Every structure is written in C-alpha cells, then in structure tokens.
Amino acid sequence: MKINERDDSTRELVRAVRQGSVEALKKLLDANPDLARARIVGQKGGSRTLLHVVTDWPGFFPQGPATVRLLSAAGADLNASADEDKPGETPLHWAASSDDVEVAEALVACGANIEPQGGSIAGGTPLENAVGYGCWRVGYMLVNRGARMEKLWIAAAMGRTARVESFFAANPAPAGQVINQAFWHACQGGHRRTAEYLLSRGADVNWKPDYANETALEIAERAPDTGRQALVNCLRELAAKPMAPPSP
C-alpha cells in the first residue's frame, strides 16, 4: 500500500506519530490496518514507512517506544528499507543515527534485525551508523545485544582493546591508514587504553580522516555525543519558549 505524503489523511497519520498521539494512531490503524505497512511516497518519488517516521532525525519523538510497539503489533515491517527497490536504511539505522536508544531498544525487542546492511556509513550496519555519528548509547546497546565488531575501527571506537588486539593477532601488519582510522575512532570514543595500544602499533597521532577535518586530539576534546546534543537542543528550545504550565 502506498500513500501520498501530501494527502491530508497521510499528514494526520504522520502528525499522530510525531506528536506521540498513540491513541489517535491506534484508531487510524484500527480503521485501516494496512497503514501499518504502508509506504509514504514523497514529492520526489522516494518512500518510507511509519517506523521510519518515528525514527527520523532528530529522533526522540514523544512516546516513540510505545509507537514502535504499536506499529509492530499492527504488522509493520521492522526491517523495511528506506529505499523500496534496493537495500537501504532500516528504522534501526535511523534510530542509531540520532542515538535514540529507547526507540532502538524497542525495535530490537520487537524483533528487528540488528545487523542489516545499507546504512549511510559505508553501506553498513546500524552499529556502523551509531559509531560514525558518535551515537554511543545505541552503539553500546547494539554490542550488548550481540552486534558483531568485524572492523578494526568499530572495535576501537567501542573501546574493546582485547578485540582490537585480536585483529593484529590475525593480521600482524594491517595497512597504516587502517590503524590510523582505528586510532582516530578510539579517540572519538574516549578510550585511552585502546588509543595507546594503537599508537604502539604505529598510529599517527596527527592523522585526519577525509570525512572529518580534525585530529585525534581535536575529536577527543570535542567529545561528540549526539544524544546529549539532542537534550541540549531541547533545553535551548525551552529556554527560548517556556512550556505552558500543566492544566489543573
């Protein structure tokens, strides 16, 4: 089933998801169960699902986990691709990219695949999205849930020094850029021991990746944390426009 994002009925549906109006969403789904698996077609022809709506940037929509559970129970495809005709980002990829760990946990608990390919970071998994965007809450959750760290830079970013050492045991002489990338991500994640180990294996302390014009020191000092930034943005909005007091 496909629905047009410009239709009033679709806008009502999306609004219910983004505002966390779970009861309103349930009524819409009860009236038309096919909506749970519908693809919302955009003006440029692309499409997405309601689970993509609740996991969309910047994430942290009200009642997000409850919305995920409702859509899953209604038959939504937990592993749907954002690109209908080819592998692309699933809702879990999107939740990983905003560090919305409660929504990511709800997706996994409902049965979402934790290792689908097609992410915006090198076409990889949600874990690669999480690490690439500095989304540590989701990153650690996925690793704890069993997501594999099959790339050196991922293991380094997560501070798993023993896992990093095992890469060198299997391949004693990886390319210098591979070591540099792993070192940079260890610093991005704030993992001193892992960083020191990689330095001992020849990492360049001043190396910069082509996707971020910062040294390891600069990225460590900045300590990006997408989830924390989402909170900061929320507080700034509240300071600019205070919330109305609750009704008596």
Mean pLDDT of 209-231: 78
pLDDT in tens, 153-172: 999 999 999 999 999 999 87
Q: Considering its fold, how many domains does the chain have in total?
A: 2
CB 153 within 8 A of CB 185: yes
Residue of 150, 165, 214 whose CA lies nearest to 185: 214
pLDDT in tens, 23-51: 999 999 999 999 999 999 988 878 899 99
Q: Would you say the pTM of this structure is higher than 0.75?
A: yes
Tokens of 60: 């942290």
Amino acid code (one letter) for 120: S
pLDDT at 134 over 80: yes
pLDDT at 242 over 90: no
Residue of 48, 96, 54 whose CA lies nearest to 72: 54
CATH number, position 87: 1.25.40.20
pLDDT in tens, 97-124: 999 999 999 999 999 999 999 999 888 9
Same domain for 134 and 157? no
CB 92 within 8 A of CB 126: yes
pLDDT at 174 over 90: no
Same domain for 160 and 142? no
State which residues form the domain around 134. 1-148
With cut-offs at 50, 70 and 90, classify the pLDDT of residue 243. low
Same domain for 27 and 141? yes
pLDDT given at position 240: 62
Same domain for 157 and 115? no
Which residue has better confidence, 152 or 83?
A: 152
Distance CA 2, CA 137 (A): 34
